[in-house]
Amino acid sequence: MRRIHTTSLSRLLGLFLLVTLGAGSAQAARELPAPSWASDEVQGEQLQVFYTRFGPGDDVPSWWGHAALGVQDLSTGQARLYNYGNFAFDQQMLARYAMGRLEFWVADASVNAYLRFYQRLNRDVDILVLNLSPEARKRMARHLADNVLPENRSYLYDHYRDNCSTRLRDAVDVGTGGRLRELLSAPGRMTLREHTRRYTAVNPAMSFLLDLAMNDTIDQPLTRWDEAFLPDELERGMRELMVEDADGRRVPLVASTQTVHAAEGRSATPEVPPNHIPWLLLLGVLYGALPLAWAFWWQRGARAGRILLGAQTLVTGLVFGVVGLLLTLMWAFTDHVVVYRNENLSLVHPLWLATVWLGASLMRGRNPHTARRLLWLGGLFVGVALLWVLLKVLPGFDQNNWNVLALLLPIVVGHGAAWARVALAPGTAPEAATAG
């Protein structure tokens, strides 16, 4: 029997790309007998359908929350929870994940064991009983029972467009006869990027990395149907929906709500994304000013200025170059479409790796051509970055990367200006780099 893991995955990967996973169950999969509603003999009157929402957790994938649909046969007490957040953590998993081809599936589980698992994680657990007609209950329960069959259960996971919440959205739409899609066809209240920033606000560093990694496909206008990739947004829509009961009366889809567990010590997800631009800009200006300070210090005859400038050039080049190389490789060779054609490659790109060697050379002070090479690279880096900022006035350059620009543009400009100072100013001419 294979172990099924979702919430524990971030402990092993620990990288910003964990956003492309989800928050599911870390319980072991086990075979359960077919439920009564898997056949046509069950009566809708004896069934109850409920939506279970689990609040955000500690690990990166669990920041988004999780949800599952449940069915209970009131005549027998038989109950199942259908979780679409399962995947196999095996030897091939990392390769499939790296290529953006991770397969998820739906599995049914014991309701009580599932709820206890999330309570132990100190996550909110709420149960919403759905006010469906007997026919709708039977239709929705049969849909879930069919989905869990081996031939139907698997799907290719996409965090934003096909995940454990969108699968529930589709099932509820089946149960409501298309009413949910009709309601949620209205324009959404924010973009995928803005929602991402809301849910990652618990960790500004991770939030920035995700901003850096993703392109303008998550900046396009949404419908509320699209926003239901988030369990909270799906719940918001379900609470607004009115349906007809068995007597033809219009009633709220959500008949009742039970709080099974209220998490302690967790901050609520903000309703709007936080504005980090002022802080990012301040940090970018401070870090970008350091190379200029080292260049001026060197000009005044301090050998330490040359060594510090070389060291910062090496470190910045390594970080920017590796990040740019990863983004380029993911664009070229994987199915992670959210990183394709990323405008942030105008700031971080593989050419930065050339400055690693040049920074080390500057620290040693033995190559008279080092400063001149940095001058040309600095002019290229600054020119491309500034050109891309100017191009943002055009319709096709609409990526919402102002957070990234606030931090990285001053760093790029600061390094370029420092390298120009090294190459052109008296006392730090290329020949001066030969000094020990």
**3 in a domain, yes or no?**
no
Residues 299 and 210 in one domain: no
DSSP 3: -
Average pLDDT over residues 259-267: 93
pLDDT digits (tens, 9 = 90+) for 163-179: 999 999 999 999 999 99
Residues 139 and 249 in one domain: yes
Average pLDDT over residues 255-270: 94
Average pLDDT over residues 235-242: 97
Domains of the chain: total:
2
**4 in a domain, yes or no?**
no
CA 264 to chain CA centroid, Å, is 24
Residues 319 and 394 in one domain: yes
- For the chain, the straight-line distance linking the first and the last C-alpha, in angstroms and rounded, comes to 65
pTM of the predicted protein model: 0.86
> What is the per-residue burial (b if ≥16 Cβ within 10 Å, else e) of 89-99?
beeebeebbbe
Distances (CA, A) of 382 to 146, 376, 419, 430: 57, 10, 11, 20
**2 in a domain, yes or no?**
no
The angle subtended at Cα 109 by Cα 141 and Cα 264, nearest 5°, is 110
Q: Are 64 and 166 in contact (CB under 8 A)?
A: no
CA 95 to chain CA centroid, Å, is 19
Other beta carbons less than 10 A from residue 149's beta carbon: 11
Confidence of residue 96 (pLDDT cuts 50, 70, 90): confident
Structure tokens at 318: 């390594």
Please give the Cα distance from 110 to 31 (Å, whole number): 11
pLDDT at 336 over 50: yes
Residues 114 and 190 in one domain: yes
**380 in a domain, yes or no?**
yes
**Residues sharing a CB contact under 8 Å with residue 85, sequence separation 6 or more, in sequence order:** 6, 22, 23, 24, 25, 66, 68, 104, 163, 164
The pLDDT, as a whole number, for residue 5 is 35
Last residue of a domain, one of 261, 285, 314: 261
Range of the domain at 312: 277-434
Residues 14 and 128 in one domain: yes
Higher per-residue confidence, 6 vs 181: 181
Kindly report the average pLDDT of the chain as a whole number: 88
Residues 336 and 294 in one domain: yes
Last residue of a domain, one of 226, 261, 296: 261
Other beta carbons less than 10 A from residue 250's beta carbon: 8
pLDDT at 435 over 60: no
Residues 286 and 422 in one domain: yes
- Pairing mode of beta strands 47-54, 66-73: antiparallel
The pLDDT, as a whole number, for residue 426 is 60
Please give the Cα distance from 40 to 142 (Å, whole number): 8
DSSP 396: T
Residues 252 and 346 in one domain: no
Residues 315 and 234 in one domain: no
Residues 250 and 320 in one domain: no
Q: Are 246 and 137 in contact (CB under 8 A)?
A: no
pLDDT digits (tens, 9 = 90+) for 396-412: 899 999 999 999 999 99
Last residue of a domain, one of 229, 261, 293: 261
Average pLDDT over residues 219-246: 94
The pLDDT, as a whole number, for residue 221 is 94
DSSP 149: S
**266 in a domain, yes or no?**
no
**78 in a domain, yes or no?**
yes
Please give the Cα distance from 103 to 156 (Å, whole number): 5
Please give the Cα distance from 379 to 417 (Å, whole number): 9
pLDDT at 13 over 70: no
Q: At residue 428, what are phi and psi to the nearest 5 degrees?
A: -130, 35
Confidence of residue 428 (pLDDT cuts 50, 70, 90): low
Residues 148 and 289 in one domain: no
Most confidently predicted of 57-66, 275-284, 386-395: 275-284
**268 in a domain, yes or no?**
no
Residues 292 and 241 in one domain: no
Number of H helices, E strands in the chain: 15, 9
**186 in a domain, yes or no?**
yes
The identity of residue 266, as a single letter, is R
Q: Quick check: helix, strand or coil at residue 259? A: strand
